[in-house]
A and B are shown apart, each in its own frame.
Chain A
C-alpha cells in the first residue's frame, strides 16, 4: 500500500519569504515516481514536477526547487521569494513504476502568500 503525508495543512507567509512544503511517503515499491501538483483558486490541477525514485538529484526551476531524499522518504518543495500568485493548494503524489501507474495523493497544503 502507498501513502503520502503532507503534515502542513495550511501555511501563511509574507510575500518574498521562502517557504518549504513537506512531503513524506510510504511505498513497498523499489521504483516509483513522485509528483507535485498546484491547484490555484480556479480549481484546475497544474503539473509541477515528476521525479524518478532512482534519480535523487535535486532540481531547481526558477523560484521552485525540490529536495528528494530517499533515505528519509521525503520529497520537499521550496518556493524562494514567494509571490501572491503562488497562493494555492499544493499536492504531493506518488505512483508505482509500471503499468498500473495510479496516483496516490497527499491531503494537500494550502499556501497563502500575503502581500
Chain B
C-alpha cells in the first residue's frame, strides 16, 4: 500500500537521551516534511527537504536534526531530548501536481520524561 510509514508508533523517552524517529515513503515524492502537533497550536513545521540531499529549517527546528540520504527516507533525530519535545510527530510528503494534497504518516507519539 503506497504511503508513509512512521516508526515507532509511540515512545516514552528519558530526558537527555538521543532518539531517531523514522519515516519512509514509497511514492517517490521529492519533498518530505516533519511536523509536530501540540494542543492549541496545530501542526508546526520542524524541518523539510525539497529533494534528496537537501534539507531546510522550518518554524521550530531547535533541538532537532534531519538527513535525506535518499528519496524514500527522512529520519528526524532528537540529539538530547527535553520534556518540551513531548508531542505527536507527523512525517509528510508531497510532489507536483498537488491534486491530492500532502500525504501524512500516522504519527509518532513521543513522551519525554
Could you tell me if B99 and A43 are in contact, using CB atoms closer than 8 angstroms? Answer: no
Within 8 A of B (CB), among A1-58: 4, 6, 9, 33, 35, 37, 43-45, 47, 50
Could you tell me if B45 and A103 are in contact, using CB atoms closer than 8 angstroms? Answer: yes
For B58, what are the chain A residues with a Cβ–Cβ distance below 8 Å? Answer: 102
Could you tell me if A45 and B104 are in contact, using CB atoms closer than 8 angstroms? Answer: yes
A44-B8 Cα distance, complex, nearest whole Å: 15
Within 8 A of A (CB), among B54-68: 58
Query: How many interface residues does chain B have, given as a range?
Result: 20 to 34
Q: Is residue B53 within 8 Å, beta carbon to beta carbon, of the partner chain?
A: no
Q: Is residue A107 within 8 Å, beta carbon to beta carbon, of the partner chain?
A: yes
A contacts with B, residue count (CB < 8 A): 24
Q: Output the nearest chain A residue to B40 by Cβ-Cβ distance.
A: A107
Main secondary structure of the interface of A (DSSP, over half): loop
**B50 interface neighbour in A37, A99, A106, A107, Cβ under 8 Å:** A99
Q: Is residue A100 within 8 Å, beta carbon to beta carbon, of the partner chain?
A: yes
Could you tell me if B99 and A91 are in contact, using CB atoms closer than 8 angstroms? Answer: no
Q: Is residue B48 within 8 Å, beta carbon to beta carbon, of the partner chain?
A: yes
Q: Output the nearest chain B residue to A36 by Cβ-Cβ distance.
A: B101
Could you tell me if A91 and B43 are in contact, using CB atoms closer than 8 angstroms? Answer: yes
Q: Is residue B84 within 8 Å, beta carbon to beta carbon, of the partner chain?
A: no
Q: Is residue A101 within 8 Å, beta carbon to beta carbon, of the partner chain?
A: yes
A33-B94 Cα distance, complex, nearest whole Å: 13
Contacts beyond the supplied A6-B42, A44-B106, A47-B100: 6 A-B pairs with Cβ under 8 Å: A43-B88, A47-B101, A50-B98, A91-B42, A103-B43, A103-B45
- Chain A interface residues toward B at CB < 8 A: 4, 6, 9, 33, 35, 37, 43-45, 47, 50, 91, 93, 95, 99-108
- 4 nearest A-B pairs in the assembled complex, by CB-CB distance: A47-B101, A105-B42, A45-B104, A107-B42
